[in-house]
Structure 1
Amino acid sequence: MNQVTVKSPADCGAAELRDFVSLVIQGGEVSPLGLSERVANARSLSFLRRDGALVGVAGLKRPEASYRRRISLRAQLELSEDSLPLELGWVFLLFSVRGARLSLPLCEPLIQAAGCAGIFATSRTSNVGMHATLAKLGFRRVGEDWFSKQATQKLCLFVRDAT
């Protein structure tokens, strides 16, 4: 049985935060440097458990200004903090549960937690499953694709305008 829990980082125990960070690092697409601090600063964290075991995570991030500028420059699209204050990210599912359409139930509560705020997200250009999830959540693909510093693949940008 699948269970999704969404919490503020302040409401998480130390072990939960460590497990969240560990899964994000396992994805291999995020620099581990400063990740624990960024996770602690997030607005909301989503945990997906199957039969009690943690199998997926995602976060509603408060992106730092320097990161926002880098993504804006690479995507050649302004990511104004006023219009897009939040980022959906750190979405990771264990390989054993991929293909089971779990990214939508993992991410949907985070979109609800954002209220009417605008949100952006990045994804590997090859991750069509995540692109489908983002489309279902009201995101649209915008800007130019760019090469990731963490991997040899290209990334693309999605935005969900404020409502």
Structure 2
Amino acid sequence: MNLETTIKKPADCNQEELADFERLINEGGEVTAVGLRGRILQAEKLVLINQAGKCVAIGAIKNPNPGYKVGVFNKAGVAASQQYKFELGWLYVPEEERGKGNGRELMRVITESLIGQKSYATTRENNQVMHKLFEAFGYTKAGKSYPSQNGDYLLALYTSG
């Protein structure tokens, strides 16, 4: 597969890496573009997976805003959000790169970086591929699904630990 994985703080990324990351988040179409670069720069770590000079997967270990985090857990009907320091987010594999193990590699890199630390993630209720990936890497669905603020779909909360 010959993948090149980069995991580093946003401040350590060059402008090309940040631009690729932001472009792919926007391509995914599920995140508000307003203020996105600022939110990217606040992440704990960014993960970019490249193959033959092309970015084939991205993801982040995010430092969620405390109010946002409490809101997510409350909407899902789950207590104890304070246990979870990090959020997995912006996990995205371009459509033409799916089915090649890129999502699995992305999750492997992220979860290895988080060993011993509790984290959470949200995904569309109907995204069975992500549900299987989360479960394969030790995440469990928590609480009930709730309406997204970014579209007409439900979100599911997954937690580790």
Output the TM-score relative to the length of structure 1. Answer: 0.92
Aligned to 1:104: 104
Instruction: Indicate conservation of the 8 Å contact 1:44/1:110, yes or no.
Output: no
State the Cα distance separating 1:15 from its structure 2 match. Answer: 2.0
Instruction: Indicate conservation of the 8 Å contact 1:46/1:107, yes or no.
Output: no
CA distance in 2, matches of 1:73, 1:94: 31
Aligned to 1:156: 156
**For 1:112, what is the secondary structure of its paired residue?**
helix
Aligned-residue Cα RMSD (Å) equals 1.3
Output the TM-score relative to the length of structure 2. Answer: 0.93
CA distance in 2, matches of 1:125, 1:8: 30
Which residue identity lines up with residue 132 of structure 1 in the other structure? K
Aligned to 2:124: 124
CA distance in 2, matches of 1:116, 1:85: 11
Tell which deviates more after alignment, 137-146 or 96-105: 96-105
- In structure 1, stretches of 5+ residues that fail to align are none
CA distance in 1, matches of 2:136, 2:130: 10
1:17 equivalent in alignment to 2:21: no
Instruction: Indicate conservation of the 8 Å contact 1:45/1:110, yes or no.
Output: no
4+ residue stretches of structure 1 with deviation over 4 A?
A: none
**Deviations for 1:67-106, whole angstroms, at most 9, x for unmatched residues?**
112212211112523x110011100111101122321101
Aligned to 1:65: 66
Percent sequence identity is 28
Aligned to 1:43: 44
CA distance in 1, matches of 2:9, 2:35: 18
Aligned to 2:55: 54
**For 1:57, what is the secondary structure of its paired residue?**
strand
Aligned to 1:75: 76
Aligned residues: 160
Instruction: Indicate conservation of the 8 Å contact 2:56/2:102, yes or no.
Output: no
CA distance in 2, matches of 1:41, 1:69: 18
CA distance in 2, matches of 1:98, 1:137: 18
Aligned to 1:140: 140
Q: 1:79 to 1:20 in 2, by over 3 A?
A: farther
Which residue identity lines up with residue 61 of structure 1 in the other structure? K
